[in-house]
Amino acid sequence: MQIQINTDHNIEVHEGLAAHLRGTVEAALNRFSDRITRVEMHLSDENADKSGQNDKRCLLEARIEGRQPMAVTYEAASLGQAVDGAADKLARSIESALGRAARPTASEDWTESSEPQ
C-alpha cells in the first residue's frame, strides 16, 4: 500500500513526521492492505498563521481495487490528531463498504432458505 502525503503551503512535513503519519495510516488500514493500492493524504491548516481549535485538516483518499475511491476528512487541533481521526474514519468506511459487498442480497437469502432440507 503506497501512501502519498500532500500539504498546503502552510504545513511543512519533515521526513520523521512523514514516517510517523504514514505509520499511523498503515496501522489503521493494515487489515485492508491487500485491497488498497494507494492512499493519498492531504494536510491543511485552515487558519494559516492564526491559532484556533480544530484548524488542522486531514483528507484521506483510498484507492481500493475494483471500486471507486473513498475519501474522508477530519479536523482537529493538531496534525497527529487529524490524521488519527481520519485514519479511523476511513477504516470504518472501508469496513462498512466491503462488509456490504460480502453480505448476500435479499434474493440470495430467500433462495437459500427456500430450498428443501
12 lies in some domain: yes
Q: Is residue 101 part of a domain?
A: no
Residue 117 lies in a domain: no
Does 92 map to a domain? no
Please, what is the average pLDDT of the chain?
86
State pLDDT tens for residues 11-48: 889 999 999 999 999 999 999 999 999 999 999 998 77
DSSP strands (E only) in the chain: 2-7, 36-45, 56-64, 70-76
pLDDT of res. 98: 86
Residues in contact with 38: Cβ distance below 8 Å, sequence separation at least 6, in sequence order: 1, 2, 3, 4, 62, 63
Per the domain annotation, does 41 fall within a domain? yes
Is residue 97 included in any domain, yes or no? no
- 114 pLDDT higher than 50: no
- Picking from 69, 79, 88, 84, the residue whose alpha carbon sits closest to that of residue 31 is 88
Residue 44 belongs to domain spanning: 2-86
What CATH code is carried by the domain that includes residue 78?
3.30.160.100
Q: How far apart are CA 87 and CA 30, in angstroms?
A: 11
Nine-digit cell at 27?
496501522
Total count of domains within the chain: 1
Specify if 31 maps to a domain. Answer: yes
| CA-CA-CA-CA dihedral for 15, 16, 22, 26, to nearest 10 | 140
Q: Is residue 60 part of a domain?
A: yes
Residue 78 CB coordination number (10 Å): 11
Q: What is the reported pLDDT for 105?
A: 56
